[in-house]
Every structure is written in structure tokens, then in C-alpha cells.
Structure 1
Amino acid sequence: MPSDISLSPEKISAQLDHILASETFKNKNRIHRFLRYVVEEYLEGRSHLIKGYSLGLEVFDKDETFDPQSDAIVRVEAGRLRRLLEHYYMEEGFARAISISLPKGSYAPKIELSDLSSPPPKKDPVFSAAAAPPTGPAIAVLPFENLSGAPSQDIFCDGITEEIINHLSFSPSLYVISRRTTSQYKGKAIDIRRLAEEWEAHYILEGSIRTAGDNLRVSAQLLNAATAAVVWSENYDRKLNPENLIDVQDEIAAHVAATIGDTYGAVMRRSAVDMKRSSTEYMEAYRSMLLLHDYLFELSPKTHLKARNSLEEAVKIDPNYPDAWAGLAFLALDEYRFSFNVRTKDPLELARKYAEKAIGLSAKYSIAWYAMTIINFHKGHIDKFEDNIRMGLSIAPNSPAILADSGVYLCLLGKLDEGLSLVKKAMDLNPQHPGWCRFALCHDHYIRGDYHKAIEQVRFIETPDWFWPHALQAILYAKLGHKKEAEISRENVLRLYPGFPKNAEKECRKWFRREEDFIKYLDGLRGAGLVT
């Protein structure tokens, strides 16, 4: 190591500037403020005064009533900062003489001379992109507790814990704390809040198993790490024997992971609610993605516009944030699919550009590929559409979001059996599935002429600000001879989309690939008084 390297304030400040100007930290304004504040306090000799409360006031613009025990924003952002610093020193900062880190359990930085004895390794850009630290909520899965009294069930507890972690790790929305970290607490009394602080986790998943003869009950519950409040819980009752042990373990693990970790799962839904209730400004990119998840579940013009505005701000702040570009691809796609907040002549082409931008920025399979699948369907590129579906299902065969959308679109393509099997699996994996999954079942019943069953499925679709469910109700009530209900539904369509009757053929062409399906829907709309 060169002899002229020292930890002078000037060189520490220069290293701080280098970190903040790096690609890893580019445009992450809140993280900039966090790191600059703690390093400057260190240089002023006030490291011992850096606490969660002071960071809340100085960095996160909280007022004097801020309680770091009940509001986890400082702890969460500290974890994010720590992961970004680790990534920086593995990549751009590998050969820098001064190391700045944030040890766990403290908000005071550790500043020391780096070990430069090893030459910097050559990096594959694809591997580097894949290694980038995740930015979503952090979740820890505690070892499931064996309450059966039978030591032989310990292996089942370990197996189901490991499988849930494996399934959750496929979620692009989550940062999953490793089993190696959590396994040390097996069989120990646990203080959830203390562990959450140690791990900087947003959520904790815990569970137990009980057996009586060949009857098995697996209980799981998701906790808010800051408050220990239960966000979600479920019991799974199964018959267990030596022959089906692994199958039962895998089935329950897939259910739990899908219900809490999917795009429409409990974590993202809870995070969106928490964000709405907070009076503070969340990190911009995280906030924009929560608004996107909120929109994808609700499907309304209002949430669409709110998510689009937020994501457009996010990509101005961080042009290299792939998830934000992927989100914009979906929102542009929905200008075309749902006619929400249309502002361009060719929203499909804009969606394609956004999706390709996202894919070019990340080596990971993400919602950008998922958006590209749907774009290819609507552009009529059916071979590419089906290839993308196969890729998505091979990578994430237990993702309810991918299963549901793939299934709905296969049904619209005329492949009813394949599509329905995927949709039903998605609904089974995640009981909190969004209502639009029912479109596949409604479509199947309508094509087969069973209008009573079709209308029952439409009633589950809780998207009152989208015109299509009302249009389907108008068709089905007219078919069933329920004139009053058909007229109410027709009025709702015209309230939400006054120009629908003159655009009915165009709207049907967007969705129905088989000519016989297109004709059947158009005739149904004509019978409901929705075609001019």
C-alpha cells in the first residue's frame, strides 16, 4: 500500500464525493443525504451522537414527534445504504484506498484504509447487473416451530422453511434475508422487534406445524417488523405420510410464498397501505413501485395516473432504474388495453420502448419481460407471445401474477383449457388474487353460452372505474332478459367511456383473437345497445 495514503479529512471527503458520484449511488437523493450526514458528523467528531432520532429529523425531515421504534424508515434506509456501499466496493470502488461502511447495529460509519493487496477482478457486465442490490421490502423467514412433540418432524419444519425462502427469492419485489442468518434462532425465544432491527427487515414470517396421527396443520403468519402486528395468517391442513412428505412440503411452501410475495401478494399490498398512511416522503423509487402495485391490483384511471406520474419522476431522478421503466411499460400498455389516460397515438409502441429499456438495464427476469409478452399479443406477434409465456412459466412456475395473466391471454387466444388451468392455479396459490382473474372464467362460460355462470364470475371483479366489467354485465344481463340491470350496466359504460358505442369494434379487436369470439362479443354489445 503506498505510504502517502492517510485518513485525512480531505481524503475522506474526496472518497465520499467519489461514492456519491458513482453509478451505484447515482440519483439516489435520500441515500446521498444519509451518507453525507453520517460522514460529516464523523469528521466533526460527533459519531457517538448519530442516532435514529437525529437521522429522522436531519435526513428524513421528521418533526419532533418522530419515534424510530414505531417508524422504521431510518432502519430500512440504513440497510439499503449498507447494501449499496457493499456493492460499490465490489464494483466501482474496488481499488479505492479508503473504505467507508456502515456496520450493523450502528448508524456511525466505519472509515478505514482498504486492503488493496489483490488486483481488481474482471467483471462481466451481465453478472454485475444481476448482483445489484435489491431495493424492495426486506423479509426474514424464521425457522418453523415443531409443535407436534415428535422430533421426526424437525426435518419437515426445516424443509418447509427452506422451500419458502427459495420460492420468495424468485420475487423481484423482495429482498429475502438468507436462511443462514435466520436459522441460528431455531428453537429460541425471539423478540421480533429486536430481530427486525438487527436484520433491518420490513417483515417477519413465522410458522409452526402440528401433527395428530397422519393429520398435519401448518400455520403461518406475516408480521410487520416494526410493530409485530399480524399482516396475514393462514392455516394449511393436509394428510401426511412418508410417500407425500416432500410434495406436501413443496405445495404449502409455494402457497405461502405466492400469497405474500407475489406482485399481488400481502407484502406489496401492505406496503402500499403503509405508504399511504405515512406523512413522510418515502424513497422516490420505492414509492413509485408501491403505487404501481396499488394500481395493478385496483385497475382504475385514478391509480393509473398517480402511478404514471410517480414513475416518470422516478426515472428522472434515476434513469437507470429498470423496474421503474418496466412499470412505465405496463402503464403505457394500459393506455392501449384499458384506454386509461391516453395521451399518445401509439401507446403499444411506447410500451415496447419502455420494456426494452428496462430489459437492457437488468439481466434479471422482471415485469418488463412480462409486459413484453402482453405487448406481443396485442401487436399480433403470437409466436413471440407464446415463446415469452413459456420462458416466464419456466422461470417462475409458481408466480400467481405470471400464471394469471398468461392464463387470461391464452383464453383470449382461444386456448381455453391451457389458459383456465393456469388461472385456476394462480387463484389457488394466492387466495387474495385480484378480481380480474375471473375474466378467464367469465370468458369461458360466455363462449360456451352459460350466461348464468358467466355473470356470477363478473360479480367478483371489483374494478368499478373500468368500463369492461360493466360492458360484460350489460351483455350478460341482456342475454338473460334482465332489462333493468342491463340498462344500469349500459349507463355505467357510457359514464366511464362516452365514446364506447362508436369504438366497440376497435375495443373488441384489441382482445379477441378468434374471429368467432370477436363476433360473439360484438353481437352481445349490439344486443345491449352499446354499438352504433
Structure 2
Amino acid sequence: MRYLFAEYVFDTDRRELHRGADVVSVAPQVFDLIDYLIRNRERVVSKDDLIKTIWNGRSVSDAALTTRLNAARVAIGDSGDEQRFIKTLQRKGFRFVGAVREAKEPAEAIVADDQVEVQKVDLALPDRPSIAVLPFENMSGEPEQEYFAEGMVEEIITALSRFKSLFVIARHSTFTFKGKAVDIKEIGRRLGVRYVLEGSVRKASGKVRIAGQLIDAVTGAHLWAERFERDLADVFALQDEVAVAVVSAIQPKMIQTEIEVATRRRPENLTAYDLFLRSMQQYYLTTRESLAEAIRLAHCALDLDPRFGSAAALAGDCHASNVALGYTNDPQFDRKEAVRLARLALRIGDDDPDILSRVAVILAGMVGDSEAEIELADRAVALNPNSWRTWNNRGWVYTMAGLPEEAILSFERAIRMSPVDPLLHMTFLGIAHALIALRRFDEAIVALKRALRHNPSFLPACRGLASAFAHLGRDVEARAAAARVLEIDPSFTISAHIARSPKSPKLFIEGLRKAGLPE
């Protein structure tokens, strides 16, 4: 049997591992380890399973097992940080998570003779957004600028790889296409990815111009394109700056496209990931009805895959949002569910930055152990400093911890990461709350109005406006904002709000009273 994944062919009959046309040297025990993980890729393999199969039940130290796993990862171009093929599930075991195709055709049909060709098979798409970053074309006509173009691509691949929700093809696979006229759809089929990023670099007159475009490799549609021009002063700082800008633009665009694809699929195609994407779409709407539907869909995803940590975190986030936004009819239930699901998500994926950041903000609102939640939020940012979500949620954690200056810095970083994010109204709301805590009411009003431009019926922003206007003595505007609050939520009272959100700052509540909202 031959198993095909990414640019690799794993031949169990010949006991050979091929990368393109090259044979990769693999120790026999490491080969057996990869073989066992691939054959059992539909489940999590425990440490005891590996010891029983690979070492015939002999006593083996954790260090020996780790050494073999690291060797297996090196052989297939993986790493403990990236884990794009072999995933470690804390306290559970290991699982081969790469998209695998079984092939029975002759090896000669799979492994090309031409050293520059990748394998001659079409790979199935993974169950998450997948992308290959092609070598950027050096338009300068200067061979010495090749290092800059290659460094640019490496920076982008590294930044994208920090998103555990993305499947990112390694550099050595995409660079087999360097200098060749390529068909994007063919590359997508060969590498098993839905998205391809290509670009060019041109240096002239002390400046560098970088162009990039994101293409849907299935349809050939161009999803995003942008040009960057910078002074060529510090090339390494420039590489980092442009990489952040590119990743900040294309990661949300990919997720948005994935959600649109999921909602167009036939209703009976209800895989866990599809359900998760549909839940995300409802979560973005942040209405009472949409959050209820998001919770339902996320729980359906968990029913199909109880180890789906992101779905558990999303469901917990929705329950916490019900409390924070004043939608809940049973605050105690939503609080308990938010905490339960957050802790479940943390047990499943305590190395996933998105999960860590969601859990941090849930527990900050529902539990209030500032030190622990700040540690989670900071760890999420350290694992992925290129994510809107990690910075946005860090801002909320610091706001609730009573550190508004640091919160504002985090929110501003989030906006830079994703300037067109569908949840920007939440970011502007966070900035406003931090500004109110600092008694910078004029600036808070500006942020709240920006939130309402993104979401005109966003009740928390209307409440914020009522409070901020009242503190400034702008009574007419304060009462108009209060009227809008009651128009959206006729049952609103300050006492009910405090019962739902007991951590609401006294200064904020004082403004609501001054605005004339009912007690």
C-alpha cells in the first residue's frame, strides 16, 4: 500500500518514504511508527498503543518515545510546533492529522523522475482552510535580491503556520515551483490546498515594491490583492512588516470564504467542521437569535467530534456573550455553561492560541481570576502574535482586570491585524469601555459611534453612549441614546443589567443612571 500526503509517498510494501523524486532515509523503527499512525489516523493513538506495537510492550522511557516521534516528524517535514501531520493531544496521545490518500498504482506513476516535479497525484483538500505560498518573483533583475524575495515568503509561511486553524504547506514543497510557469488550479490539486498566495518583489531607487494576490485554487477566482511600497532601510524589519500586513489580510479572507462555501453546501453535508463554520457565521451577527443558533450548531459539531476544542470554546463564548450582551433569560445557566465549555476546550487544546484567548476572555467575565486569565491571554498572543482574535481578547481581559491602558494597546493591535474584521464593533466597544474607565469620555464616544457604524443595532454600544454622554453633561444626547437602548430592548433596567453583569464598573452604571435609564 502507498499512502500519499502533501508531497510525500509512504510505500509500506517497499518500506520507502519518497518526497517528490527523492527517497527520504528513515530508520526502521521510525518507519513503523509513521506506518502505525497513518493506518490508525481515524483515532487518537495512546502512548501505550505505540509501546505495545512498536516496542512489543517493552518498557520504554518517555525520552525514547519523544526521540522517535521527533525523528518521524523530521522525516515528513513536520515539527513539534507546526504539527501539520503528527498532532500531540495533551494527556491523550497522538494522531496523524494530514490529509491522506491511499494509492495502488505503480510507484513510478507516483514518484516523478524529474527532480523538479512534485508527485503526480491530486490530493484531497484538508478539513480546514489550506494554503500554499509560492516563491515570490524577483522583478528587480538583480540576483542578489533573491534572498529578500525568499525571506519574504518564509516570513509569511511562518506567520500563517501559527494559525492552528490553517493547513499550511511547507516551504520546501512550494519552492519546487520556483521559476516555472504554473497553473494555479494544478498547483492546488498537486499540493492539496484550496488557496494559493503568489506575489512579486521589485527593488528600485531605494524602495521596494511587493505585490501579492490570494487565489482560490479550486475556482481560479482572485480573492484579494494588494501592493506595498516601503523604503529599503532595514530589509529584515521590512520583511516582518509586510508579512504581518499580508497575513492580517488573507487569514480573515480565507475564513470568510470558507464560511460562504459551507453555507452553500447541501444541508445533509453536516461535517463537524461545516457545522463549526456555520456557527461562526451566526456568532458574527451577535444578535439574541443568532447566538442561540450558533450555540445549537456548535453543540452539533461537538456531538460529531467530542474532541473539537474550537467548537467547545466557541459555544462557551456564545453563552458568555449572552450574559455580557444582556440576552440571557437564565444568567446562572449561561455562566455555568460558559465556564464548563471553556474548561473543556482548555483540556482539549491548551496549545491552541485561539482556544486560549477565547477561554481567557470567557473566564475573565464569568470567574474573574485576573492573574490566571492574563496569563492565558498573554500565552495566546505569544503563540500567535498575528491574530486579531488573540489581541482583541487580550484587550477584553485587561479591561476586566482594571488595566485599561494596556487594554487599549491590545485593541489597537487587533485593528491593525484585521482592519475589516466582521467583529470590529466588539473591538471598538472594548476601546470605549477602557476609555470610560480612564474618564476619557469624548474619545469613548468616538469609539462607540464607530462600533455603531459597523453594527447599527449593537445594544452595548448604545448603552455606552448613554453613559458617556451623561458623564459629559450632554443630557439631550444622553437621553437620545437611552431611548435607543429601550427601543432595542424595552425590558432593560439597570438592576437587571447589574444582575446579569455584576462586574460592570460603578462609573459605567453611574452614567446609565444619569442618562435616565430605568432603575
- Matched-pair contact (CA < 8 Å) for 1:142–1:182: yes
Instruction: Provide the rounded CA distance (Å) in 2 between the counterparts of 1:222 and 1:373.
Output: 32
- 3-state SS of 2:332 partner: coil
Q: In structure 1, which of residues 132, 144, 152 is the aligned counterpart of residue 97 of structure 2?
A: 132
Give the residue type in structure 1 aligned to 2:399: C
Residues 1:390 and 2:378 are matched in the alignment: yes
Change (3 A) 1:245 1:222: same
Q: Does 1:229 align with 2:217?
A: no
Residues 120, 197 of structure 1: CA spacing in aligned structure 2 closer, same or farther, 3 A cutoff?
A: farther
1:164 and 2:156 correspond: yes
What is the letter of the counterpart of residue 161 of structure 1?
V
Equivalent in the alignment of 2:246: 256
Q: Residues 128-152 of structure 1: CA distance to partner in whole angstroms, max 9, x if unpaired?
A: 4475347311111111111222222
- Write the letter of the residue equivalent to 1:299: T
Equivalent position of 1:144 in the other structure:
136
In structure 2, the residue matched to 1:314 is 301
Question: Residue 208 and residue 231 in structure 1: after superposition, are their counterparts in 2 closer, same or farther (change >3 A)?
Answer: same
- Equivalent residues in 2 for 1:33-44, closer than 5 Å: none
CA positional deviation for 1:407? 1.6
TM-score (norm 2): 0.72
SS for the counterpart of 2:174 is helix
Partner of 2:286: 299
The answer to whether 1:417 aligns with 2:405 is: yes
Q: Deviations over 1:104-157 (max 9, x none)?
A: xxxxxxxxxxxxx97679688638447534731111111111122222221111
1:326 aligns with 2:313: yes
The one-letter amino acid paired with 1:132 is V
| Bigger mean CA deviation after superposition, 151-160 or 192-201 | 192-201
**Partner residue, 1:216:** 208
- Is the CA contact 1:258–1:430 (under 8 Å) kept in the aligned structure 2? yes
Match of 1:404 among 370, 384, 392: 392
Compute the displacement of 1:163 (Å): 1.2
Match 1:437 to one of 412, 420, 427:
427
Q: Does 1:89 align with 2:46?
A: no
Answer yes or no: is the 8 Å Cα contact 2:276–2:301 preserved in 1.
no
- AA in 2 matched with 1:437: T
Residue of structure 2 in register with 1:472 after alignment: 464
How far has the Cα of 1:484 moved from its partner? 5.9
Cα pair 1:215 1:238 within 8 Å, conserved = yes
Quote the Cα distance in structure 1 between the aligned partners of 2:509 and 2:432. Answer: 16
Task: Give the partner amino acid of 2:484.
Answer: N
Q: Which amino acid is the alignment partner of residue 358 of structure 1?
A: A
Per-residue deviation at 1:328? 1.6
> Letter of the aligned partner of 1:177 in structure 2?
I
Residue equivalent to 1:203: 195
Contact 1:494 1:500 in 2 (8 A): yes
Of 181-190 and 197-206, deviating more is 197-206
Structure 1 residue 184: Cα displacement: 0.9
* 180-189 vs 297-306, which moves further: 297-306
**Alignment partners' CA distance in 2, 1:460 and 1:233:** 26
Query: 1:284/1:301 Cα in 2 relative to 1: closer, same or farther (>3 Å)?
Result: farther
- Taking structure 1 as the reference length, the TM-score comes to 0.71
Could you say which residue in structure 2 is the equivalent of 1:239? 231
Letter in 2 for 1:89: R
- The answer to whether the 8 A contact 2:349-2:355 is kept is no
For the 8 Å contact 1:329–1:368, the answer to whether it is kept is no
Shift of 1:343: 5.0
Q: 2:263 aligns with which of 276, 289, 307?
A: 276
Q: Give how far 1:255 is off.
A: 2.3
Q: 1:508, 1:522 within 8 Å by CA — same for their partners in 2?
A: no
The aligned counterpart of 1:266 is: 253
User: Which whole-Å CA distance do the structure 1 matches of 2:138 and 2:319 have between them?
Assistant: 49
| Contact 1:356 1:368 (C-alpha < 8 Å) held by counterparts | no
1:227 Cα deviation after fit: 1.9
8 Å CA contact 1:291, 1:303 repeated in 2: no
- Gaps spanning 5+ residues in structure 1: where? 1-6, 8-83, 96-116, 512-517
The separation in 1 between residues aligned to 2:197 and 2:36, in whole angstroms, is 26
Q: Give the match's secondary structure for 1:329.
A: helix
375-384 or 276-285, which deviates more: 276-285
What is the number of residues matched between the two proteins? 418
For the residue of structure 1 that corresponds to 2:503, the secondary structure is helix
In 2, the alpha carbon distance for the partners of 1:377 and 1:362 equals: 18
Q: 1:524, CA displacement in angstroms?
A: 1.1
The one-letter amino acid paired with 2:488 is L
Change (3 A) 1:145 1:435: farther
The offset of 1:199, in angstroms, is: 2.3
Q: Closer, same or farther in 2 for the Cα pair 1:349/1:253, shift >3 Å?
A: same
Kindly tell me: are residues 313 and 395 of structure 1, through their superposed partners in 2, closer, same or farther at Cα, counting changes over 3 Å? Answer: same
The 1:443/1:351 distance shift into structure 2, 3 A limit, reads closer
Amino acid at match of 1:159: G
Give the alignment of 1:15-164 within 5 angstroms: 87-89=37-39, 126=90, 128-129=93-94, 132-133=97-98, 135-164=127-156
Whole-Å Cα distance in 1 between the matches of residues 301 and 36 of structure 2?
Answer: 23
Q: Distance in 2 between matches of 1:92 and 1:246?
A: 42
SS at match of 1:359: helix
Gapped regions of structure 2 (runs ≥ 5): 2-33, 46-52, 58-64, 70-87, 99-125
Q: Deviation of residue 364 (structure 1)?
A: 3.2
Query: What CA deviation, in whole Å up to 9, does each residue of 1:248-276 have, x standing for no partner?
Result: 11121122223322xxx111122222333
**Percent same amino acid among aligned pairs?**
25
Shift of the alpha carbon at 1:239?
A: 0.9
The aligned counterpart of 1:354 is: 341
Q: Which residue of 2 aligns with 1:47?
A: none
Shift of 1:283: 4.2
Per-residue deviation, residues 149-172 of structure 1 (Å, max 9, x unmatched):
222221111111111111111112
* 1:412 shift after superposition: 3.8
Tell me, yes or no, if the aligned pair for 1:504 and 1:522 is still in contact at 8 Å. no
Q: Distance in 2 between matches of 1:343 and 1:87?
A: 45
1:395-434 CA distance string (max 9 Å, x none): 2223221111112331343322222222212211222232
CA deviations 1:84-109 (Å, max 9, x no partner) are 999541568999xxxxxxxxxxxxxx
Per the alignment, residue 175 of structure 1 pairs with 167
Q: 1:189 maps to what in 2?
A: 181
Query: Contact 2:462–2:482 at 8 Å: present in 1 too?
Result: yes
Q: Quick one: distance in 1 between partners of 2:289 and 2:56?
A: 50
Aligned to 1:27: none
Change in Cα spacing, 1:346 to 1:305, as seen in structure 2 (3 Å) is: closer
- Supply the distance in 2 between the matched residues of 1:483 and 1:93 (Cα, whole angstroms): 62
After superposing the two structures, state which structure 1 stretch, 248-257 or 492-501, moved more.
Answer: 492-501
Kept after mapping to 2: 8 A contact 1:315/1:325: yes
Amino acid at match of 2:221: A
After superposition, the C-alpha distances for 1:196-226 in whole angstroms (9 at most, x for unaligned) are 1222322111111122221112222211222
Hey, what does 2:369 align to over in structure 1? Answer: 381
Residue 346 of structure 1 aligns to a residue whose secondary structure is helix
